[in-house]
Every structure is written in C-alpha cells, then in structure tokens.
A = this chain, B = another copy of it.
Amino acid sequence: MTPPPDNLSLQNIAVVLVEPQGPLNIGSVCRAMMNFGFSDLRLVNPTADHRAEEARWMAVKAGSLLDRARIFPDLAAALADCQLALGTTRRFGKYREEFFHPDEAARYLLPLTEKGRVALVFGREDKGLLTAELDLCQRFITIPTSDELPSMNLAQAVSLCLYETAKTLGELRGKSHGRKKLASGSVLEGMYSHMKRTLVDIEFLDAQNPEHILRSFRRILGRSGLNDREVRILHGMFRSIDWVNSERRKKLPGE
C-alpha cells in the first residue's frame, strides 16, 4: 500500500555532522534545518562548541536546535537507530553508480521515512568523511559543482540537501490528490527482492555478485520514483519471467 504522504516525515530525517570545526557553521546548519522543517541534529565528536555565542548568532531563531542537538562519540553510535545513512562526499572511488544528486537522494529517502529513521551525513569542513565513515553509509550524495572550486561551504551543502528534500516532499504532497504517490520503502524493497531472485534464476545476474547490476536498476528506478501501480506492473513482469523459466526447467534432463 502506498503510504499517505502525510506519513512521510522530515522529523524522521536526522542531520548528522561529523567533527564539525566551526561554531558559525553549526549555527548556520540549524537555521537551514528550521528553514526547511527539520529538527533532529546530531553532532559526532564536534571540535567546536555548538553552544558558543557565534553558533547562536548564526542560528538566529533556531537556537533551540543547538540546545537539543545530541552528541555522539563516533558515527556508528550516531547512526544506531537509523535504517539508512546517506553520506555526502566528492570521493567517487569504485561506487560511482551508487551516487545520488540531492534531488535523486530526496526521492529515494522520503518513502523510507514512513517506517523509520534516515540519516543525512556530512563530513568535516576540510576533509569531509573518512573512508571508514563512508563504509557506514549505504548510499552517497554528491552535489554537482564546478571543477574550478568543487568544495562547498558545509552549511550551504546541508542547506541544498534539505531544500531538495523539502521540495520533493512538497511535490509528493501537492500531487497526493492527483495521481501520483510514491511507493513505500517496504513495497520497493519487496519488488527489488523479486527482481533479484528472478534475474539470478535466469542467470542474467551473477549469483555470486548480483548487487553490481542491481544497483544500476536501483538507480534507474530510484530516479523515476515508482508509484504502487508501477511496482505491481514490475512484479507482474517478473512473475511472467518466473513462469517461463519454470517451464524451461521442468524439461531439463534430471529435473
């Protein structure tokens, strides 16, 4: 069942800053969070005092978020109650296919907020997230910037991601009386399981490493934002393939 968009909630999205160094930035992040309706701020081993005068000055009327911010010793602890973590980075490495732009990330993560908590993870001002921290994230966000100066101000990067998420939520809600509601995270995961089983069975996906190609399908379908009817159509297609394959197997020698 498609969740009513009212069940999608920005309250279930945590903004996690790993070792932020500047109180101005932390205050500025709070202001952006309140601008776009977010409230769960988590600081991992901050090297700046988030309650300093400068932080409050930049937070303007969002000082309450500074007071309610939770502090964690490491990223794993900060993510303990999150079902999904999206890490922001400009380091592509071998996982290029798993990178979302902020708008794609928003379409991917919002349906998951119906059932649980999702984290947006931002690294240090100077060094971003370390490899060991990226390993704790399941998906990655990169903001497309110019080669001339690719590195963004931390608070601006947070602001862009929150803006895209709030904007996407607005689009989903705006269309809720129209035709399109996104399928929920569990409905999507059910479809991806079916897809994986079917495509391994017909030997299109390598049984040893099905995830590689499957990630491309997740990206394609994540970008398009499936509704319930479309998920049913995909299930139907995989059922037809399952049937053809079972007919083939019946006739194999020894089966």
Report which A residues bind B (CB closer than 8 A).
24, 28, 31-32, 34-37, 58, 60-62, 96, 101, 103-104, 143-146, 148-153, 155-156, 159-160, 163, 166-167, 170, 177-179, 199, 202-204, 213, 216-217, 219-226, 229-230, 233, 236-237, 240-241, 243-245, 247-248, 251
Contact = CB atoms under 8 A, between A and B. Distances in A.
Contacts of A149: 31, 34-35, 60-62
- Per DSSP, chain A at the interface is helix
Contact of A166 (B36, B144, B177): B144
A166 B102 CA distance: 13
Given A167-B144, A220-B226, A32 B156 contact: yes
B223 A177 contact: yes
17 contacts: A34-B149, A35-B146, A35-B152, A37-B148, A60-B149, A96-B179, A156-B156, A177-B223, A202-B240, A204-B236, A216-B233, A219-B230, A220-B224, A220-B226, A221-B224, A241-B244, A251-B251
